[in-house]
Chains A and B, each alone.
Chain A
Amino acid sequence: GQSLEQPSEVTAVEGAIVQINCTYQTSGFYGLSWYQQHDGGAPTFLSYNGLDGLEETGRFSSFLSRSDSYGYLLLQELQMKDSASYFCAVSEDSNYQLIWGAGTKLIIKP
Chain B
Amino acid sequence: DTGVSQDPRHKITKRGQNVTFRCDPISEHNRLYWYRQTLGQGPEFLTYFQNEAQLEKSRLLSDRFSAERPKGSFSTLEIQRTEQGDSAMYLCASSSPLTGAVNEFSYNEQFFGPGTRLTVL
A97 touches B33 (CB 8 A): yes
B25 an interface residue at 8 Å Cβ cutoff? no
* Neighbouring B residues of A48 by C-beta, 8 Å: 107, 109
CA distance A94 to B48 in the complex (A): 12
A94 touches B102 (CB 8 A): yes
Interface residues on A, range: 20 to 34
B48 touches A95 (CB 8 A): yes
Interface residues on B, range: 20 to 34
B27 an interface residue at 8 Å Cβ cutoff? no
B108 an interface residue at 8 Å Cβ cutoff? yes
A71 an interface residue at 8 Å Cβ cutoff? no
Contact (A95, B55) CB under 8 Å given A31-B107, A43-B43, A43-B112: yes
B108 touches A96 (CB 8 A): yes
Interface residue ranges, B against A (CB under 8 Å): 31, 33, 35, 40-45, 48, 50, 55-56, 91, 93, 95, 98, 102-115
Apart from A89-B42, A96-B107, list 20 A-B contacts with CB within 8 A: A33-B107, A41-B114, A42-B113, A43-B93, A43-B112, A50-B103, A50-B106, A51-B105, A87-B42, A91-B107, A94-B102, A94-B106, A95-B50, A95-B56, A96-B110, A98-B43, A98-B45, A99-B45, A100-B45, A101-B42
Interface residue ranges, A against B (CB under 8 Å): 4, 30-31, 33, 41-45, 48, 50-51, 87, 89, 91, 94-103
* Neighbouring A residues of B98 by C-beta, 8 Å: 94
Contact (A100, B43) CB under 8 Å given A50-B105, A51-B104, A94-B102: yes
